[in-house]
Structures are given as C-alpha cells and as structure tokens.
Amino acid sequence: MNSPAWIIQQLELGPMMNLVYLLGCPETRTAAVIDPAWDVQSILRAARRLDLKIGHVLVTHAHPDHINGVEEMLEATDAAVWVHAAEMEYIRTMARLYQIPVEFLDRRAPDFHPVSDGQQIFVGNIPVLCIHTPGHSPGSQCFLAGKHLFSGDTLFFGACGRVDLPGSDPSRMWHSLNRKLKALEDDVILHPGHSYGDRTTSTLGEQKRDNPYLQIESAESFLDAMGAE
C-alpha cells in the first residue's frame, strides 16, 4: 500500500549521471539504497540526515556504474544485498570484463541474496515487488513500491536501456518493456537509473503515450528499430 509518508530521496552521483535512491520507512526508520555507486559517503550522509538506517541494498543490475559502491556500503552497514538470481554470475562476468577485483563477493557472500520475479522484499513496513526485466542485462530488474517504480537502466524518460552490451538481449528488452512494464498502472511514478534528458519526473501513463520504445508492436520491429540482427 502506498503512503505519502514514505521517504524517497534521489541523489545524482558520478560522471554518468547515475541516480541513486533511498527508500525509507517512516515507522521503522529502515531504508533501502537502490544501486549504490560512486559516492557512498554522500549516500550515508543523506541517510543520517533523514534519520534512516540502511538495511537493504537493492540492485537493479550489475553494470559497474550501478554497483561500484556496494563493497563500501557493506563495510559501513549491516545491509542485505538483493540481486536477481540471473545476475549473480553476471556480476563476475562484468568484473572480469572491466578488470574489477571481486574478492569481496566471496568474502561477503552471505550478504548477497538472489531473488526471483514476483518476489517481495520488505523495507521496514514497505513492500517492494521485484520485477524481472531482462534485456539490458540477463538479470535486470525493477522495484515497485506502491506507486513508485525504480527502473534502473530498463526504462528512462523517453528512452530505454542499451541492448548492445555483453549480456544484452533486444528481444527480451521488448518483452520487458511492452509486456511487463506497460501492463503497470498509468499513475505509477517512474524513477530511472540515470538523469538523461531534461525531465525530472514522469508517470508510466506519460511514457506509454510518449516513449517510442513502449509503442513498438512486435519484437521483430523492436529489433529493427534498435539496429539489431
């Protein structure tokens, strides 16, 4: 159930205009941080300013610009990390590709929890639904809390995530956009993973009307539009 008292803090961090979010429960003062990256100290300061204790890390996908703060966040908190099951091995694939040390993944393995499509996580008293939206990566997922959708790199204002990266799949992206996300209610508020474009807020209803990637009728047409073979 959505509540106007829920605490949602957006932070733009790093050179790629990443949007990191704090989702806080006002009753328990428990919070989740969504895609901690680039400047963990700023995230921690924001949580302290809001009188929130970070108990969860929600990962939309494992590209380095979205998870390069996870290790530092785990050193600073007792948070549990929630990653889609299909993304767990992909984290290591990305680390090898970008030559990122991953020793902490083994050291902190008990803190990582694989989730599946439709699973619910509670951030304090806030139910958060995990929606598997592959396409940008195998285990990309969005988080739906009431009327708030945290979409990572699956859906942006007027655009969608890239499908030309290792692990991307344009056919699955079309399905994620035009079958899963398009089925959500029009008044859902969109919170994307980057501040691309000149908008600061939008609803799924507006995106269904204006976003060309939510108006492509078939996977084949989507592949043509994305220049995929």
Q: What is the pLDDT of residues 24-48, one digit of tens each?
A: 999 999 999 999 999 999 999 999 9
Question: What's the pLDDT at 1?
Answer: 43
- The Cα 157–Cα 170 span in angstroms is 18
Main-chain dihedrals φ then ψ at residue 181, nearest 5 degrees: -70, -35
215 confidence band (pLDDT: 50, 70, 90): very high
- The Cα 22–Cα 39 span in angstroms is 14
Q: What is the mean pLDDT of residues 194-200?
A: 83
The 10s digit of each residue's pLDDT in 56-87 is: 999 999 999 999 999 999 999 999 999 999 99
DSSP states along 78-136: --EEEEEHHHHHHHHHHHHHTT---HHHHHTGGGEEEE-TT-EEEETTEEEEEEE-TTS
Quick one: what percent of the chain has pLDDT higher than 90?
A: 79
DSSP H or E stretch at residue 152: strand 148-152
Which domains are seen in the chain, by residue range?
7-226 (3.60.15.10)
Question: What's the pLDDT at 98?
Answer: 76
Quick one: what percent of the chain has pLDDT higher than 70?
A: 97
Q: How far is CA 50 from the centre of its chain?
A: 21
Put the strands of the sheet holding 7-13 in their side by side order.
Answer: 7-13, 18-24, 30-34, 53-58, 80-84, 112-115
